[in-house]
Structure 1
Amino acid sequence: MKNLKRLKYVLFPILVLFYSGCLLGQGVSTKTAAIKIEPSAIAGDKMVMPSISWINPNLEYTNSTENKVVFKAKVKSSDGLQSVSMEAYAKKNNAKLGSKQYTIEPGQNEMNLEEELFLPDGEIIFKVTAVSISGGTISSKRSILVGMDAVKDAVAIDRKDYALVFATDKYDNWSDLVNPVNDGKTIAEQLKKLYGFQVEVVENPTQNEVFEKILEYNRKSYKPQDQLMIFFAGHGQFDEDFGEGYVVAKNSLANDKSKTSYISHARLRSVINNIPCEHIFLAMDVCFGGTFDPRIAANRGLQSFEQDDKEMLARKLSYKTRRYLTSGGKEYVSDGIPGEHSPFARKVLEALKDLGGSDRILTLTELYTYLERLKPAPRSGTFGDNEALSDFVFVGQEF
């Protein structure tokens, strides 16, 4: 009887639930809407299709170490809603966990769904179905892997790590540099060789080429524990009047008062944060790179990070990551001796080669220790939708 009561308390919030949505835990995945159009939706010329917009989670596949999750979604139809329903079931055995038919008021053409739920461990599938007054029917699904054990089981499966490296040492209007391309290629090589990253190096890109490449990565499909590292090496600039830092592209003008030919840190924060990969780490070996954080541009301090270890790997991969590391703050940084690496790149390479010690896991906390004695001091912090317990980990190939 106690077990039945417990089951009742678990299922009731599910039944009273699913305002389809995005989990406040770890997420990733494709940008597809996972929408199924029923045959009835194309039966007539005047049929209006409703829409389902997932807010939380907005990704097709999500995982969370927390059993308590919050879902949010919005259902709309221009000719009015006829019905909105939800069902939840366990993927493992298709066991139905609950369902709900929502009440529609006369003339209602949109509905906001929001519910806080306690879910059992395992992979849970949620399906929301909406029908318009004219009979157009749409269904949309989201999959959520719940619980610490379930997430741990997924760590070694098919997660991938990506590295996108922008390296510029040849400029149309600025003085050329000696080491960025060599630095970028060498770091990419070590990420691939030692950590199994899928790497891509973009040499001497123009402003448009930078954003076109970032757009490519925005359109990729990512799994919940995939990671993306983005690295910039080259010239950087800071404008006191605008209070903004910039990455200088190959074709940036030398005296661009409006700064429209540069790549502003504000735009980078926005477009990188929007990439649908849950774990993103941005490293910048450019002058004034620390002003990527607007707090540093305004002479504010740094954030500290907690230590991580092997046992916490699964947990770290269940929180959304938006972290950055730059070679300096609000100042110029050295390009290094020709034929060698910049001081920043040299220390990053040293950290990568040491593989994080005996556990063969290099965390950001460990990476920072290799850089802390550099002058100027590197800067680190968070941006965008970063979650408090997040981290970015470099897992050695033999792990």
Structure 2
Amino acid sequence: MKNLCAFLLLVAIPGFAQQSEGISWRALFEIHDARDRVSREARISSRLFQQSPERSNIWRRNRYGNGTTGNKKWTEEIHLNAEKPETLIFITNEPAEYDRLVQSLTSGNEVSNAEGQGFQMLETKTFPSGRTMSSFSKGSRLVEVLSNQKGGAREWIFQLSKTETAAPVAAKDQTPPEITIIEPKLAQTRSLVEVKLSRVFVKVKVTDDSGVRSVMMDDKAVKPDLDGTYNAVFTLPPNLSQKTVEIRATDHAGNVASVQVILKSPAQVPLSAGDEADFDDIAQGRYYALIISVQNYQPGIQALSNPHKDGEALSKVLLSRYKFNPSDVFTLKDPTVAELGQALEKLKANLTKRDNLLIFFSGHGEWDEKIGQGYWLLKDAEPQNQATWISNSTVKDYIRGINSRHTLLVTDACFGGSISTKGTDDAAEKKIYKLPSRIAITSGNLEKVPDNSVFMKYFLERLRENNSKYMPALTFFSSFYTAVISNSGENTPHQPQYSRIDNTGHQGGDFIFTLK
């Protein structure tokens, strides 16, 4: 009897009925061609969509089935527009459904139990934000597909409309994409580039009239950054003095372009007596640390599990192995914006030009794409209220006001890389450690990172294993960078960053970890 009740309950609630069959183009075209709104709504309802109680023009249904990552649940929507009755919008957030619909739209044969429609692709555009829009036509019918990022997840919007005359068929594109190298700058004029660091930042711009389908660097797919460029970091092991990086771009017409950059590193030079003297001089100053961990938040912001544990582990290794005294290590657990400001003001008042400062932050981070600004979320942060968040520009103002010799900022938070500037620093490469430095090491660039941090695992592990009396932050970073990338997994890729923090007083030096 219980099983029968459960079955009746499922049938009685169409929006939650188990759906295994995806909507077909024939069904969408029938809805689109209906003579009036009442007819359209009847056809939509017959496909087990339910009208939204908040907005009468939106219809939704839940789907259960095999997605790209196994059995899962996802949502589909149909939107009607009273002002533009000639248009119809269908939305899905399941990649497998997007692939099925696009494949059956352009195929002339039956694909995945859906009748092929034989539509012709007109064009594909890639926007600076990384979104893409593709247009398809057949006769007077036009279908536009927009790939959109919503709330950290990808969704695909299919808009159906009609033209008065048949849309023109685009000529076959036979022009490959154009690849422009931005960094290393020397690679713009020569194929062999001698670099001074074992870690090299490569950045390119790719343009194509039909849109860019993919960019590969060393056979690894690279996603576009927020400014539309593509970048990756390559590490040259000590036993490898030369590395060839192949950059390959493919457009939506299948045309391929490729360029090669040959990176050559000089022989490894051991520390000189002058370097050791610089280190000894730096070690005379005091070492301060401000360790900030936030894992308990206001309602509406997901709590985290590991920031306090990671902060405690960092404090322990700094105090036990490195030249940090207990009176100079400050720990803030779940601070408010005001409490963090007070702690930074205290450091500003007490540190001198001979002192060194390490600031660590673990917690939630956010990114405002419209203004290009990153944020830290502290305990009193409110969802969707940036006035209660602390911006990267504010953090940089505090760092600029602290009169230390070297300041190292380490962040393990989403979008942490937004606070720093990508690229190399000639002065740091020359080991001018006496010069002031403002350096950031972040667990990622402009992407989300998981709570269970691979970055922190290897960060702490290398601090515990280090036996060098003096260890520059760049050397330290290079020791765990490859391990983080190799062990972060395909679904949660980490791309740690080491870079200067501009407009804070950086002059080319580097933070030095000094053993006791």
**1:273 equivalent in structure 2:** 400
Closer/same/farther in 2, CA of residues 196 and 264 from structure 1, 3 Å limit = same
The Cα offsets for residues 102-155 of structure 1, whole Å up to 9 and x where unpaired, read as: xxxxxxxxxxxxxxxxxxxxxxxxxxxxxxxxxxxxxxxxxxxxxx89x75972
- The amino acid across from 2:419 in the alignment is F
Say yes or no: does 1:215 pair with 2:325: no
Superposed counterparts of 1:245-324, under 5 Å: 245-256=374-385, 259-293=386-420, 301-303=422-424, 315-316=432-433, 318-324=434-440
Q: CA RMSD in A?
A: 2.6
- The amino acid across from 1:181 in the alignment is H
> How many angstroms apart in 2 are the aligned matches of 1:389 and 1:324?
13
C-alpha deviation, 1:386, in angstroms: 4.2
- The amino acid across from 1:246 in the alignment is Y
C-alpha deviation, 1:361, in angstroms: 2.0
Q: Is the 8 A contact 1:323 1:386 kept in 2?
A: no
- The amino acid across from 2:440 in the alignment is Y
Q: Is the 8 A contact 2:410 2:441 kept in 1?
A: yes
> How many angstroms apart in 2 are the aligned matches of 1:187 and 1:207?
22
C-alpha deviation, 1:306, in angstroms: 7.4
> How many angstroms apart in 1 are the aligned matches of 2:428 and 2:384?
44
The alignment covers a number of residue pairs equal to 229
Closer/same/farther in 2, CA of residues 308 and 352 from structure 1, 3 Å limit = farther
**1:168 equivalent in structure 2:** 294
**1:143 equivalent in structure 2:** none
Q: Percent identity?
A: 26
> How many angstroms apart in 1 are the aligned matches of 2:279 and 2:426?
26
Superposed counterparts of 1:101-116, under 5 Å: none
Closer/same/farther in 2, CA of residues 253 and 305 from structure 1, 3 Å limit = farther
Q: Is the 8 A contact 2:396 2:504 kept in 1?
A: no
Closer/same/farther in 2, CA of residues 209 and 396 from structure 1, 3 Å limit = same
Superposed counterparts of 1:1-399, under 5 Å: 155=281, 158-173=284-299, 174-197=301-324, 198-224=328-354, 226-256=355-385, 259-293=386-420, 301-303=422-424, 315-316=432-433, 318-336=434-452, 342-355=453-466, 357=467, 359-369=468-478, 370-372=480-482, 373-374=484-485, 375-383=493-501, 384-397=503-516
Q: TM-score, normalised by structure 2?
A: 0.42
The secondary structure found in structure 2 opposite 1:260 is helix
Q: Is the 8 A contact 1:320 1:385 kept in 2?
A: no
The Cα offsets for residues 224-259 of structure 1, whole Å up to 9 and x where unpaired, read as: 2x2000000000000112211000011100121xx1
The secondary structure found in structure 1 opposite 2:380 is coil
Unmatched runs of 5 consecutive residues or more in structure 2 = 1-273, 486-492
The secondary structure found in structure 2 opposite 1:391 is coil
Q: Is the 8 A contact 1:237 1:288 kept in 2?
A: yes
- The amino acid across from 1:393 in the alignment is I
Closer/same/farther in 2, CA of residues 391 and 254 from structure 1, 3 Å limit = same
Q: Is the 8 A contact 2:334 2:379 kept in 1?
A: yes
> How many angstroms apart in 2 are the aligned matches of 1:237 and 1:376?
16
> Which structure has the higher relative contact order (CA within 8 Å, separation 6+)?
1
The secondary structure found in structure 2 opposite 1:177 is coil
> How many angstroms apart in 1 are the aligned matches of 2:341 and 2:504?
20
C-alpha deviation, 1:380, in angstroms: 2.1
The secondary structure found in structure 2 opposite 1:191 is helix
C-alpha deviation, 1:394, in angstroms: 0.5
Q: Is the 8 A contact 1:335 1:343 kept in 2?
A: no
Closer/same/farther in 2, CA of residues 153 and 396 from structure 1, 3 Å limit = closer
Q: TM-score, normalised by structure 1?
A: 0.53
Q: Is the 8 A contact 2:399 2:504 kept in 1?
A: no
The Cα offsets for residues 325-376 of structure 1, whole Å up to 9 and x where unpaired, read as: 111111100111xxxxx21111111111122x4x322221222120234332
The Cα offsets for residues 50-80 of structure 1, whole Å up to 9 and x where unpaired, read as: xxxxxxxxxxxxxxxxxxxxxxxxxxxxxxx
Q: Is the 8 A contact 1:308 1:363 kept in 2?
A: no
C-alpha deviation, 1:159, in angstroms: 1.8
Between structure 1 and structure 2, the one with the greater Rg is: 2
- The amino acid across from 1:394 in the alignment is F
Q: Is the 8 A contact 2:367 2:375 kept in 1?
A: yes
- The amino acid across from 2:459 in the alignment is V
The Cα offsets for residues 282-301 of structure 1, whole Å up to 9 and x where unpaired, read as: 011000001113x5xxxxx4
Closer/same/farther in 2, CA of residues 319 and 156 from structure 1, 3 Å limit = closer
Closer/same/farther in 2, CA of residues 385 and 249 from structure 1, 3 Å limit = closer
**1:16 equivalent in structure 2:** none
> How many angstroms apart in 2 are the aligned matches of 1:212 and 1:238?
24
Q: Is the 8 A contact 1:327 1:378 kept in 2?
A: yes
